[in-house]
Each structure stands twice: as structure tokens, then as C-alpha cells.
Amino acid sequence: MKKLLRRLSDLDPFPFGEWKGTLMKDVPARYLNELQHQEGLLSEWPDVAEYIQRASKALVWELKHMREAGV
């Protein structure tokens, strides 16, 4: 049975791991970017994968500015 996709907003809590319970908008871009590259993990969390996809432009912008600032 396929898990139903729930569209996460910035104000929803992150559902797992070290950032569990943190508002989606407050989860670091670096962490969300790393999740995209972990084979199979986001297939278990399609709502998180969809949120990252929707937020990808903002995440790229944030990561770029963090690198420029040396963070």
C-alpha cells in the first residue's frame, strides 16, 4: 500500500532524525541537501522529498550564501 503524500508547509514539524519536531523552515539547508543524496531515505518520507523539491531554489540560495560567508 502506497503512503499518502501530505504536503508539508514551513510550519510543520520535521518528522524524523536529529531535527525531529523542528519547524521545517528551521531545519538547516545543509541537512536537507544531504538528505537528497542519501539513497532510499526519502523514498520512505515522500512528503519530505516533495518539500525539499519545492524549496530547492531557496535551499540553493541559502547554501550559496553560507559558503560565501564561510559558514
The answer to whether residue 3 sits within a structural domain is no
The string of DSSP codes covering 3-34 is PPP----TTSBP-SGGGTTSBGGGS-HHHHHH
The answer to whether residue 14 sits within a structural domain is no
Bridge partners (DSSP) listed for residue 13: 23
- pLDDT for residue 3 is more than 70: no
Q: pLDDT tens for residues 9-58?
A: 999 999 999 999 999 999 998 899 888 888 787 788 999 999 988 888 77
The answer to whether residue 10 sits within a structural domain is no
At 64, the pLDDT band (50, 70, 90 cuts) reads: confident
Q: Domain of 31?
A: 23-69
C-alpha cell at 55: 524549496
The answer to whether residue 38 sits within a structural domain is yes
Q: How far apart are the first and last CA of the chain?
A: 42
* pLDDT confidence of residue 1: 43
* pLDDT confidence of residue 4: 57
